[in-house]
Amino acid sequence: MNRFTKLIREIHRRSIWQVLGIYVVGSWLVLQVVDTLAGALNLPDWAPPLALFLLIIGLPIVLATAVIQGVSPATSGTDAGTDREADGVAAPKIGGERASEAQGSEAEVDPERQLFTWRNAILGGVVAFALWGIVAAGWLALKGAPAGLGGAGEAIPSVAALPFDNMSGDPEDAYFTDGIHEEILARLAQIGGLRVISRTSVLGYRDSPKNLQDVASELGVDHVLEGSVRRSGNRIRVTAQLIDAEGDHHLWAEQYDRELTTENLFDIQGDVAGKIAAALRTELSPEEAEQLEARPTDNLEAYEYYLRGIQLRNRGFSPEIFEELIPAWERAVTLDPEFAAAHAALSIAHSDMWWFYHDRTRERLERSAASLARAREIAPDLPQVLVAEGWYYYHGLLDYTRALKAFEAALEALPGDPEPAYGIAAVYRRLGDMETSVGYFKRAQELDPRSPILTVQIGETLALLRRLDEAEPYWDQAMALNPEFRDPYVEKARLFVANGDTRSARETLAAGAETGAIKPYAQEWIWLETLEDRYDDALSRLDQAPADLLGDPELGESWNTQSVYVPREQWYAILKGLLGDTESERSYWEAAAAHLEPLMLERPEDPRLHSALGIAYAGLGRKVDAIREGKLGVALMPITREAYRGAYRLEDLAQIYANVGEPDAAVDELEILFDRPTLMTVGRLRLEPWWRPLDGYPRFEALLLEHEPVTE
C-alpha cells in the first residue's frame, strides 16, 4: 500500500476530518459573536482580525491533539503497530495483568499525551477568547465606550458651544452669526472622540446670566466654547475661546480677522473645530481631518442663502416657514448648482412638506427625489446627503429598510449629531420595535439634553409600551424645558385617562392652558369634557373653535395630524347624540360625510380620510359603506407596515364595527391592539362613549378583565 493511501486511512482512523469540521464550524460561530460585539461596542477594525489570528494559531494545536489522542497507548511510538492496523490487521489487545500494569504505570505515558489532551485544547480555546476579550476591554477603557451605552462613554471629552454673539451691530446679520455657529457645531459633530451638545440645547443660554459652571453642569459637559462674529464690509472677524468649566480657565483662544470669502469662512470653521479637538487631546482619523477641511461651496452668496435657510428651519415646521425656507435654498442651488449640502437640505424641506401634510401632491415628492438625486450625484458620501436620503425614504416612501441604512451610515459619519440617531429611533418606532426606539431616542438626547421634542418622544414611546409610570417624568421634564409646548400636556393627560383618572387629566390640561400651550377649544378639552359626561361644556368649547383649526387649512374645519382626521361636524354629531338629539345628530353625520366625500376623491390614497368617512357612515347606519371605508383605511396603512399610524386605522375600524352591530369583529381588532405596543388601554375603553355599544358583550368584558391594570 502506498504512503498516500496509508496517510488518508490514518487521517480517517483518527477522525481528523471530523475534528477539522467541528473546529471550522466552531470558529465561524466565534467570529460571528466577535463581529457582533465589535459592532455593538464600536471596537476598532483590528478586533475581528485579531480573533481570526488566534483561531488560526489554535488550529494546529487542535489537529496535533487529534493525532496524539488517536494513537492507542499500546502502539504509540511504534511504526510497525501503526502500519499493521492501517493494513487491516488487528492490533493486539491488552488484557488481564498486562492491562493492570499499563493502567497503573503513569510513567510509561508519553509527555505528548499529557500535554495534547482534549481538556487542554478546550482550555486553550477559552484562554484565547478571554485574551481577545481582555484586549477589547482594555481598548474600551482607554478610548471610552460608544455614546448611548452609558458608563464608560462618559470618558469622552464633552463640549457645549454656546450661541455666538452677533457683533456686527445689524440685527439682519443674526442669521449669518447663527449660521457660522451651527456650521462649527456640524464640524465638531463629525469628530467621533468628542461629545458635542446640539444647537437646540445650547440656544436657551443665549444672553443667559448663569455662570459657566452652572451651564456646563446643566448640559452635562466639561468644556464650553464661547465666540462672536463681526461682519463689516468685506471683512469678517471671528473670536473663539474654549474654557475648562470646572477650573474656569482657558484651554485655547484665537481671533480670526480675514477677508470675507468662502475659502476663509470654511478655513475658520475647520480650524476652530480642529483646535478644539487638539486642545482636548482628541485624535482625528484621516477621514475626520478631511471633513474638517471640506468646502461645500465657492459661492459666498449661495452660502449666505443656505445659512438663511438653516435659521428658518430651526424655527419649526409650519407652512409659513416653508414658504420662506424653500425659496432660500432654491436660490442657493441656483447660484451654485454643485452645492450638494444645499440640494440635500432642499430635499429634506420637500419631504417635510409631504410628511406634515402641508402638500401631499405627487409633484412635491418628486421635487424631494430630484433634489436628493442631484445631491447624490455631486457628493454621495456627504453626511448631509445621507441624512436627506434617510428622511426621503422615511417620510416620502415609508421605505424603512432603506431609511434605516441611510441613517446608520449618517450616524457613523456624524457621531456627534443627534439627527441621525433621532431618525433611527423614529424608524424603529414605525417598525414596532419600541425598545430599540427608546434606546436611540435616549442616545440622541445625550447630545441634545434640553430638547423638549426629544424628551416627549421618549415619553410617548414608553407609553406605547404601556410603561406609563416611566413615561410621566419625561413629559414633566418637557414641560419644564418649554412651558408653551403643547405636546407634553396632551400626552400626560392621555396617560391619566389611560389609567381612568380624568381629574388629573383635567389638571394637566388646565396647567397647559395657563401657559397658553392648550387652547380652550383644543380637541383634547372637548374629548375630556365628553369622557366626564359634560356634553354641554364640550359643545361650548366646540362653538369657540375657529375655522383654522389644527392641521391643513385646505382640508376644511377639522382637527388633523399625520395620524388622525376629525371634522368639526363629527364632534357635533357625537355630542348631539349623547344629549339625545337624534335629529341633529343625523344632520351632523350627513354634514361630516359631505365634508369628507369630495376630499377622499381628491386624495384617495389618504388612509385617514377613509377611516373618518367610515365613522361618518357608521353614524348614518350605512353599515356596508362604513365597513368598506374602514377596511380601506387599514389596507392603505396596515399595522404590519406602519406600527405607529397603523394602530390608529385599526382603532377606527374597531370603532366602526362597534357602532354598526358587529361586536365580534370589533373585539377582534381590539385584541390586536392590545397585543401590540399601542395607546389602547382599558381606561379608555371604559370612558370613551363610542365603545358603549360593546358594554355587556361577553368577549368585550373578558377583554377588559384580561387587560385590567394590576393595582397594589
585 or 548, which is more confident? 585
DSSP labels, 557-621: SEEE-SS-EEEHHHHHHHHHHHTT-HHHHHHHHHHHHHHHHHHHHH-TT-HHHHHHHHHHHHHTT
For residue 56, pLDDT over 50 is answered with yes
State how beta strands 565-567 and 558-560 pair: antiparallel
Q: Are 50 and 135 in contact (CB under 8 A)?
A: yes
648-695: pLDDT as tens digits: 999 999 999 999 999 999 999 999 999 999 999 999 999 999 999 999
**Amino acid, res. 522:** A
For residue 247, pLDDT over 50 is answered with yes
Q: Which residues pair with 243 in a beta bridge?
A: 224, 250
560-584: pLDDT as tens digits: 888 999 999 999 999 999 999 999 9
pLDDT band at residue 25 under the 50/70/90 scheme: low
pLDDT band at residue 305 under the 50/70/90 scheme: very high
For residue 549, pLDDT over 60 is answered with no
For residue 557, pLDDT over 50 is answered with yes
Own/partner pairs, 93-98, CB within 8 angstroms, 24+ separation: none
228 phi, psi to nearest 5 deg: -150, 160
Taking residues 68-87, what's their average pLDDT? 42
Q: Considering only the C-alpha atoms of the chain, give the largest distance between any 2 of them, rounded to a whole number of Å.
A: 110
Q: To the nearest 10°, report the CA torsion of 385, 391, 396, 401.
A: 100
CA distance readout (Å), 103 to 94, 98, 188, 311, 538:
10, 9, 71, 86, 95
Question: What pLDDT was estimated at residue 203?
Answer: 85
pLDDT band at residue 41 under the 50/70/90 scheme: low
Question: What pLDDT was estimated at residue 2?
Answer: 58
Question: What pLDDT was estimated at residue 74?
Answer: 42
- The mean predicted confidence, pLDDT, of the chain is 84
CATH architecture entry for 154-292: 3-Layer(aba) Sandwich (3.40)
Fold of 300-464: 1.25.40
367-385: pLDDT as tens digits: 999 999 999 999 999 999 9
For residue 428, pLDDT over 50 is answered with yes
Least confident of 62-66, 175-179, 357-361: 62-66
CA distance readout (Å), 297 to 52, 231, 337, 342:
45, 19, 9, 9
Nearest to 294 by CA among 273, 311, 314: 273
306-349: pLDDT as tens digits: 999 988 887 778 888 899 999 999 999 999 999 999 999 999 99
Same fold, 154-292 and 300-464: no
Q: To the nearest 10°, report the CA torsion of 281, 286, 290, 291.
A: -70
CA distance readout (Å), 422 to 408, 437, 444:
11, 9, 6
Question: What pLDDT was estimated at residue 313?
Answer: 84
**Amino acid, res. 401:** T
Tally of CB atoms within 10 A around 286: 7
Q: What is the DSSP letter of 692?
A: G
Which helix (H) or strand (E) segment is 268 a member of? helix 262-279
Nearest to 506 by CA among 486, 489, 485: 489
As a whole number of angstroms, the distance between CA 678 and CA 468 comes to: 12
Nearest to 617 by CA among 646, 648, 596: 596
CA 405 to chain centre: 12
Question: Degrees (nearest 5) of the Cα angle 662, 667, 670?
Answer: 130
HSE-CB for 264 with a 13 A CA cutoff: 13
As a whole number of angstroms, the distance between CA 626 and CA 616 comes to: 7
CA 608 to chain centre: 25
Question: To which residue does cell 475581528 refer?
Answer: 48
CA 100 to chain centre: 70
CA 99 to chain centre: 69
As a whole number of angstroms, the distance between CA 557 and CA 567 comes to: 6
As a whole number of angstroms, the distance between CA 74 and CA 61 comes to: 23
For residue 36, pLDDT over 70 is answered with no
Angle between helix 340-355 and 383-391 (nearest 10)? 20
Q: Which residues pair with 226 in a beta bridge?
A: 241
Question: What pLDDT was estimated at residue 37?
Answer: 62
181-211: pLDDT as tens digits: 989 998 999 998 999 998 889 988 888 888 8
Q: Which three-class secondary structure state does DSSP give residue 165? A: strand
CATH architecture entry for 519-707: Alpha Horseshoe (1.25)
pLDDT band at residue 594 under the 50/70/90 scheme: very high
Nearest to 497 by CA among 530, 539, 537: 530
For residue 65, pLDDT over 90 is answered with no
- Say what the pTM is: 0.74
What is the SS3 string spanning 503-536? HHHHHHHHHHHHHCCCCCCCHHHHHHHHHCCCHH
Question: What pLDDT was estimated at residue 208?
Answer: 83
Question: What pLDDT was estimated at residue 132?
Answer: 59
pLDDT band at residue 28 under the 50/70/90 scheme: low
As a whole number of angstroms, the distance between CA 488 and CA 478 comes to: 6
505-525: pLDDT as tens digits: 999 999 999 999 999 988 999
pLDDT band at residue 475 under the 50/70/90 scheme: very high
Nearest to 183 by CA among 304, 349, 315: 304
Question: What pLDDT was estimated at residue 7?
Answer: 52
Q: To the nearest 10°, report the CA torsion of 386, 388, 389, 391.
A: 130
As a whole number of angstroms, the distance between CA 421 and CA 442 comes to: 9
Own/partner pairs, 645-648, CB within 8 angstroms, 24+ separation: 645/430, 645/562, 645/563, 645/607, 647/673, 647/676, 647/678, 647/679, 647/680, 648/563, 648/564, 648/608, 648/611
Domain ranges in the chain are 3-92+108-143, 154-292, 300-464, 519-707
As a whole number of angstroms, the distance between CA 593 and CA 613 comes to: 6
Question: What pLDDT was estimated at residue 374?
Answer: 98
Own/partner pairs, 66-72, CB within 8 angstroms, 24+ separation: 66/14, 66/15, 66/16, 66/19, 67/14, 67/16, 67/116, 68/110, 68/112, 68/113, 68/116, 69/14, 69/113, 69/116, 69/117, 69/118, 70/13, 70/14, 70/15, 70/16, 71/14
As a whole number of angstroms, the distance between CA 623 and CA 628 comes to: 9
As a whole number of angstroms, the distance between CA 166 and CA 230 comes to: 6
Burial of 537 (0-12, 13-18, 19+ CB in 10 A): middle
Percentage of the residues of the chain whose pLDDT score is greater than 70: 77
Question: What pLDDT was estimated at residue 627?
Answer: 98
Question: What pLDDT was estimated at residue 151?
Answer: 36
